[in-house]
Amino acid sequence: MSVFEVKEEFLLDNKPVKILSGAIHYFRIVPEYWENCFYNLKAMGFNTVETYIPWNIHEPEEGVFDFSGNKDIARFVRLAQEMGLLVILRPTPFICAEWEFGGLPAWLLRYKGMKVRTNTPLFLEKVDAYYKELFSHIGGLQITKGGPVIMLQVENEYGSFGNDKEYLRAVKGIMVKYGAEVPLFTADGSWDAALEAGSLVEDGVLATANFGSRSNENLDALERFYERKGLKRPLMSMEFWDGWFNRWKEPIITRDAGDLAECIKELLPRASINLYMFIGGTNFGFYNGCSARGVTDLPQITSYNYDAVLTEWGQPTAKFYKLRDVIRELYPDIPTFDPKDHRRAAFPNAKLTGRVSLFSVADKLAECQTSTYPMTMEEAGPGYGYMLYRTHVKGFDNVMKVKAIQTSDRAHFYLNGKFQGVQYQHEIGNEIEMEFGQENVLELLVENMGRVNYGYKLQAPTQSKGIRTGVMVDIHFESGWEQYALPLDNVEQVDFSGEWKENTPSFYRYEFEAAEPADTFLDCSRLGKGVAFINGFHLGRYWSVGPVCYLYIPAPLMKAGKNEIILFETEGVTAETLELKDGPVYKETVE
């Protein structure tokens, strides 16, 4: 059984070791491709894999835990060990990671007065219950137990959020209570204030830094931090950013491979590294995060390609070869070899075989919940996806103004089944004039486009989605609401024999044949906005505003023979066929 220690250097079985790590998020990649990712990491000469552990996928409802499929963290870690890799785990309550709510579960928002990431009994009670379950899965994987896990993270970039050391100590204490034995660490920005606020070096917790350029300058700052504490510890960039994430309506961000290689070549003689990301993967389902801004937040796209060393679909990039050259130059004794790739292919167009309006099937997809005033998404359901609100309005054959108050994030308005308008963030609360008859049905479809994953808005009321206050008709709040929580985790129950109405949010079913599965890309360039499923698996969101106009379909999600694609399209766009291409599709200019 090996021993890993953090002293003046990292020691593995009493011998100095350089950690050459790459981030691979198990939850962003289908399990069938984990092995390929590990193989390519080793091919580049690296010896360690790192991953976050998002709380929200493992405890989707309070007290209900899920470690199956691409959530099977124990299987991921054991496979890494089989392939000769060490593992760094980051099971912090908050992960950021451009992930929905920074990995915090939406059900926390049902508790009035909940203050996340604080030394408060309510929040720590929930963390404790989660860690009790989580450590039953990961505790035995530590190197002290014969596993490959060498380090565990206490909190993530807490110095960019708070400076409550008692909170950090509380999280550490819970981890130790449930079996954390390997060295613990924190990760923060490399400037003085962030390191001081977010670290716990006085308690024996290693401080690491996150950055992606000016290697010596950032390492100098981390080294000076330790010197002020009278300590000498190994230096490590826990997130060396080799690319960046992307948001709707913004151009794709890229980084030159040569520039990256030079920055890493500068870093490695002084420090260990964790590349963020080695492969980014995909924000499947409704799990994309959102960047906090003043009035209008900026949701991230489904693709988490990140301009990483491997593409979203696992293809080695120029960065792979440049970094392999760096390893060969600095560490000629480390074995390196050629990487693997996946087969990609186009397939015959998927043909439309059914369509039905959401208004025709809502009762079959969700329980109708009634209340005097609108419920939030978290009150009515798991808090992800969409919420359909309905009320009956007495009219007087005249025009009245309608406005939704404190609603997140995007709302479609319908009166008697007819589209009246759509509002997004900064527009919500503006009046829409509608022509009412005597008896009327007013409906709103509200989409949660992703909770923020970083910054002060983690504590903001806007992270509660749906309608938080109410809807005004004329100058009064309407009462008497019906609502349907639509996380769309049951699309197989959509009844396509129901009525379809033009220009309403609708489900569309398509079929195509595949003689042999291969990676492919659903071309979304002719669609509006919505989500897609293949054979029941939720691929994620698409939106015509760009910058991407595709959804990546890994081969393991396909079948040899007939395959089914279901779209939930909210913009009234109908396509008779869908194209499946052998490469990604981008929007030339974003709106």
Active-site residue, selected from the candidate residues 59, 98, 239, 379: 239
Given CA atoms 188, 194, 199, 202 in this order, what sign does their dihedral have? Answer: positive
- Residue 368 inside a domain? The answer is no
Residue finishing a domain among 453, 479, 505: 479
Neighbouring residues of 220: CB distance < 8 A, sequence distance ≥ 6: none
Q: Answer yes or no: do 378 and 503 share one domain.
A: no
Paired sense of beta strands 184-189 and 206-211, if any: parallel
Q: CA 384, CA 446: separation in Å to the nearest integer?
A: 11
Q: Per the domain annotation, does 519 fall within a domain?
A: yes
Residue of 157, 447, 482, 564 marked active site:
157
Residue 163 corresponds to which tokens in the numbers above? 């400076």
**Co-location of 156 and 243 in the same domain:** yes
* pLDDT for position 439: 96
Note the pLDDT of residue 591.
62
Same domain, 89 and 17: yes
**Structure-token match 């060990």, residue found:** 81
Same domain, 120 and 219: yes
Say if residue 309 is in the same domain as residue 443.
no
Other beta carbons less than 10 A from residue 398's beta carbon: 9
Establish if 362 belongs to a structural domain: no
Residue 338 included in any domain:
no
- What pTM value is reported for the model? 0.97
Please report whether residue 189 resides in a domain.
Answer: yes
Asked whether residue 587 is domain-assigned, the answer is no
Same domain, 475 and 494: no
| 435, 555: one domain | no
Instruction: Say if strands 432-436 and 272-279 run parallel, antiparallel, or are unpaired.
Output: unpaired
Task: Please tell me whether residues 49 and 11 are part of one structural domain.
Answer: yes
What residues form DSSP beta bridges with 101?
none
Position 567 scores a pLDDT of 98
Residue 588 within a domain: no
* Measured distance CA(37)–CA(22) in Å, rounded: 10
Residue 155 appears among annotated catalytic residues: no
Q: Are residues 456 and 531 in the same domain?
A: no
Q: Are residues 445 and 500 in the same domain?
A: no
Residue 294 confidence (pLDDT): 81
Phi, psi dihedral angles at 286 (to 5 degrees): -105, 30
Task: Say yes or no: 411 and 520 in one domain.
Answer: no
Integer Rg of the chain from CA: 25
Residue 217 catalytic? no
Q: CATH code at 456?
A: 2.60.120.260
pLDDT of residue 293: 85
Same domain, 288 and 315: yes
Contact 12, 40 (CB under 8 A): no
Q: What would the two tokens of residue 387 be?
A: 């919420």
CATH number at residue 265: 3.20.20.80
Domain around 182? 4-330
Q: Per-block average pLDDT, block size 10, for the chain (591 residues)?
A: 96 98 98 98 98 98 98 98 98 98 98 96 98 98 98 98 98 98 98 98 98 98 98 98 97 97 98 98 98 90 98 98 98 98 97 98 98 98 98 96 97 98 95 97 98 93 96 98 98 97 97 98 98 98 98 98 98 97 91 62
How many domains are there within the chain?
3
Would 249 be classed as within a structural domain?
A: yes
| Residue 429 CA: distances (Å) to CA of 14, 274, 426, 460, 557 | 63, 44, 8, 18, 41
In eight-state DSSP terms, residue 298 is E
